[in-house]
Amino acid sequence: NPEYLAVMTQTNVDGNVVSVPWPTLLTGMMFIQVFYWSTNQVIVQRAMAAKSLAEGQKGVLFASAMKLVGPLMLCLPGIIALHMTDLTIDKQDQVYGAIVRHILPDWSLGLFAAVLMGSILSSFNSALNSASTLFSLQFYSGYINKNASGEQIVKIGKYFGIGLAVASIMIAPILDQMQSIFEYLQKVNGLYSVPIIGIFILGIGTKHVPAIAAKIGMIVGMVFYAFFTFVNIKDVPVFFANGDGDLHWLHGYFISFISSVGVMLVIGYIKPKSVEEIAISDQRVPAPVDMTPWHQAKNASYAIMGTTVLMYLLLTWASV
């Protein structure tokens, strides 16, 4: 069944609209990837901890190369499950576990579970550490207690992490009721992720947008995203529709981004930063590490991007 390899498609072999139609690759999926790999504290903190810029670039590019095996790790098990008629699966999130139980020998299930648990805990710990760091340094010492000592900041970060862990445990049973946990998490993350992307891009690309524009843009982006994602917009063109004919929720990412960036640019045009504010922003603090870039960074980037495009073309050709 080579048709299961098709990546640039809106419908499956049964004629139903797939959960991620190919037009969403140009809107929502693109922004999900940009946020996660470029601005998410959980990921970025690893690169920021590198001993030099060159080492950080090597680590990021190596991770990008490893992502190229994603179709094998994520998509191939689903294709295999379609051909295993004796599997009993109620929800799509159960596919991987069902295949593992069916294929692996009994003596190796415990080992596999230990490896999987280690991976989960590693990601969970990274998220807790990132959230605690952001809260203690940005919110607590930045707004709540500006004179807090280092010991107080660390203590508050630990308390915040404990609170998040307890909240996660309490929320977990609710997530089990979702048809797709991954889709639900992406919908919720979009409330803040898309406006953050716009703020980062404008922060890098222009000096004239003031801080108040970022705050207002954040709110506007969240409002637009919530409306176009959680409110069913019916009878949209097929290009933008989901299986029910409503606006696919991933397109809400693009709408939120455009509205957020547009508001920030308008505010920056009406009331741009003063010359004094720009001068303060241009001040440079001496880097604590060597900032010499890796001489092969661009070549490696081009190779990875070219391989990605080639994989899409090959899979599309193989599905014909």
21 backbone dihedrals φ, ψ, rounded to 5°:
-65, 155
Is residue 170 domain-shared with residue 114, that is, in the same domain?
A: yes
For residue 219, give every residue at least 6 positions away whose Cβ sits within 8 Å of its Cβ, in sequence order, or none. Answer: none
pLDDT at 42 over 90: no
* Average pLDDT, integer, range 42-46: 79
Is residue 114 domain-shared with residue 251, that is, in the same domain?
A: no
Note the pLDDT tens digit of each residue in 219-274: 999 999 888 888 777 777 777 777 777 788 888 888 889 999 999 999 999 988 88
Residue 209 covered by a domain: yes
Q: Which pLDDT belongs to residue 193?
A: 85
Q: What angle do CA 130, 135, 138 make, to 5 degrees?
A: 105
Torsion (CA) 146, 150, 155, 160 in degrees, nearest 10: 50
**How does residue 13 score in pLDDT terms, banded at 50, 70 and 90?**
low
Is residue 249 domain-shared with residue 218, that is, in the same domain?
A: yes
Q: Which pLDDT belongs to residue 58?
A: 93
* Average pLDDT, integer, range 19-23: 76
Note the pLDDT tens digit of each residue in 243-252: 777 788 888 8
Highest mean pLDDT among 4-18, 52-66, 121-135 belongs to: 52-66
Q: Which pLDDT belongs to residue 170?
A: 85
Residue 69 covered by a domain: no
Residue 294 covered by a domain: no
* Average pLDDT, integer, range 160-179: 81
Burial class of 7 by CB neighbour count within 10 A (0 to 12, 13 to 18, 19+): middle
Nearest alpha carbon to residue 30 among 254, 307, 205: 254
**How does residue 11 score in pLDDT terms, banded at 50, 70 and 90?**
low
Helix (H) or strand (E) holding 36: helix 28-38
pLDDT at 14 over 70: no
247 backbone dihedrals φ, ψ, rounded to 5°:
-60, 125
Where is the domain boundary, 178, 199, 229?
178
How many Cα atoms occupy the beta-carbon half-sphere of 316 within 13 Å?
Answer: 11
> How high is the mean pLDDT of the chain?
82
Domain range enclosing 121: 105-178
Residue 250 covered by a domain: yes
Note the pLDDT tens digit of each residue in 92-108: 767 888 888 888 888 88
pLDDT at 144 over 90: no
Please give the structure tokens belonging to residue 319. Answer: 């599905």
Is residue 157 domain-shared with residue 202, that is, in the same domain?
A: no
Is residue 184 domain-shared with residue 273, that is, in the same domain?
A: yes
For residue 19, give every residue at least 6 positions away whose Cβ sits within 8 Å of its Cβ, in sequence order, or none. Answer: 180, 183
**How does residue 179 score in pLDDT terms, banded at 50, 70 and 90?**
low
Q: Is 68 within 8 Å of 307 (Cβ atoms)?
A: yes
Is residue 160 domain-shared with residue 213, that is, in the same domain?
A: no
283 backbone dihedrals φ, ψ, rounded to 5°:
-65, 135
Q: What percent of the chain has pLDDT over 70?
A: 90
Is residue 112 domain-shared with residue 156, that is, in the same domain?
A: yes
In whole angstroms, give the CA distance from residue 40 to residue 228: 23
Residue 32 covered by a domain: yes
Highest mean pLDDT among 1-10, 273-282, 301-310 belongs to: 301-310
Is residue 124 domain-shared with residue 272, that is, in the same domain?
A: no
